[in-house]
Amino acid sequence: MHFNDYRISEDIKDNLDRLGFRKPTDIQFKSIPPILKGNDLLAIAQTGTGKTAAFVIPVLQILLPKFGSPDTSDVKCLVMAPTHELAMQIHEVFSSMAKKTGLSSLCIHGGVDQDPQIKRLKEGVPIVIATPGRMFDLVSQGYLKLNKVRILVLDEADHMLDLGFLNDIQQLARKLPNNRQTLFFSATINKKIKNLAYSLVQNPIRIQISPKDPVAKNINHAVAFIEMDDKRFFLERLVNENPKSKILVFVRTKVRAERVQKALERVKLESQTIHSDKEQNERFKVMQKFRDGESLILIATDISARGIDIPDVDFVVNYDLPEQTENYVHRVGRTGRAKMKGQAVSFCSKDEKALLEEIETYLDQDIKVVDIAKKDYKETLDFSPEDETDWRSLIDKAEEDKQARKLKKRKEKRK
């Protein structure tokens, strides 16, 4: 099925065609028809599967009037997102898909002056994408009115719970009309998520994409056992061996992010950092430079792991393994987007082996190990330019060794 086959506005179809959308992904194919029918939705899908377009397309169609111009005087759709970056990304998708429809959207978040946001609300806007803090500020001040909301979208709901927004979401529900349509999207599902979802939706259509395979199949995973103090040398090596690649590096804390940047700076490698201590405008600039390819190395905490669509990331490096296993999925989901191939490389110290075991249990699969010979390890620490072994060949060799071990086991079973 193609987007041209859907019963949606020709303007929306033209926008989809201009943006390169031809055929729906699984989550889009399963979500769009029930949303158009007015059903509530509970959708669980791994990151990078096209969840944003899965609700943007039908929401725009629902808000289009059959005759005349759209009513833009009141907020008709409210999208709640956990982070500034994700809210901005959703806003950008709405804006690009709504061209020529007469519909517009507004992104509301903290860290910036609220006056321009208040001005837009006074002028009238039908679609608002908001983070919880600023949204409730504007509701309490009387600038954001929710009594005409027809559609509520909760995106990355599991991450909102991780950030402690449960009470905010419950408070929000009490301010909205009871007869609204609710669309609930999450990358993961557990008892807490289920309880929240079923307190908000009514007789929902439930969709779950690839529940047994939480990460995209076109991501090549590898782990290297590297001592904590040596990680910076191996990151330098990976960067030098892939000078034109876009590399996203995840660390555990804000302090670690700045330290890793300084370590790269000492060996004349330029990088940027993004974390919650940075001003919002600076975070936007950093993310934009990375998206545009002006900067090829971005060092991030998990604030950037969820739902952010960064094109053409070649490598995701887990410089520190995440303490929450689900964050591994969200981190590596920044590469291998759509039909692109991606590489996920994890540096695991002795102290992190328990975390690695938890991740493998969660994935229900082993991550292939890059065996680094003592000679190669030492040469990396000594910054030797003569080591011609690159990471891709090491990863490929690890895969070959894995297949060889499987074949050996099969032969032993036959005996």
Question: pLDDT (tens digit, 9 = 90+) per residue, 343-390?
Answer: 999 999 999 999 999 999 888 889 999 989 998 998 888 764 434 455
How far, CA to CA in Å, does 344 sit from each of 126, 166, 362? 40, 32, 16
Looking at residues 295-304, what average pLDDT do you find? 87
**pLDDT at residue number 67:** 58
- CATH code reported for the domain at 219-404: 3.40.50.300
β-pair partners for 343: 220, 315
**pLDDT at residue number 90:** 93
Q: Please state the domain extents for the chain.
A: 3-208, 219-404
| pLDDT tens-place string over residues 201-214 | 999 999 988 645 55
Mean pLDDT highest for which of 114-118, 183-187, 196-200?
Answer: 114-118
Q: What is the mean pLDDT of the chain?
A: 86
Mean pLDDT highest for which of 102-116, 274-288, 391-405?
Answer: 102-116
| pLDDT tens-place string over residues 317-335 | 999 999 888 788 888 888 8
Residue 261 pLDDT grade (very low, low, confident, very high; cuts 50, 70, 90): very high
Q: Which of 23-32, 42-51, 311-320, 400-409 has the lowest mean pLDDT?
A: 400-409
Rounded Cα–Cα distance for residues 30 and 25 (Å): 9
**How many C-beta atoms surround the C-beta of residue 141 within 10 A?**
10
Q: Do domains 3-208 and 219-404 have the same CATH topology?
A: yes
**pLDDT at residue number 385:** 42
pLDDT higher than threshold 60 for residue 415:
no
**How many C-beta atoms surround the C-beta of residue 317 within 10 A?**
27
Rounded Cα–Cα distance for residues 392 and 123 (Å): 54
Rounded Cα–Cα distance for residues 48 and 45 (Å): 9
| pLDDT tens-place string over residues 112-143 | 899 999 999 999 999 999 998 899 999 999 99
**pLDDT at residue number 305:** 57
Architecture of the domain whose range is 3-208: 3-Layer(aba) Sandwich (3.40)
Q: Which of 263-267, 306-310, 388-392 has the lowest mean pLDDT?
A: 388-392
Q: In 366-390, which ranges are continuous DSSP H helix?
A: 374-381
Strands of 179-287, DSSP E:
181-186, 205-208, 219-225, 247-250, 272-274
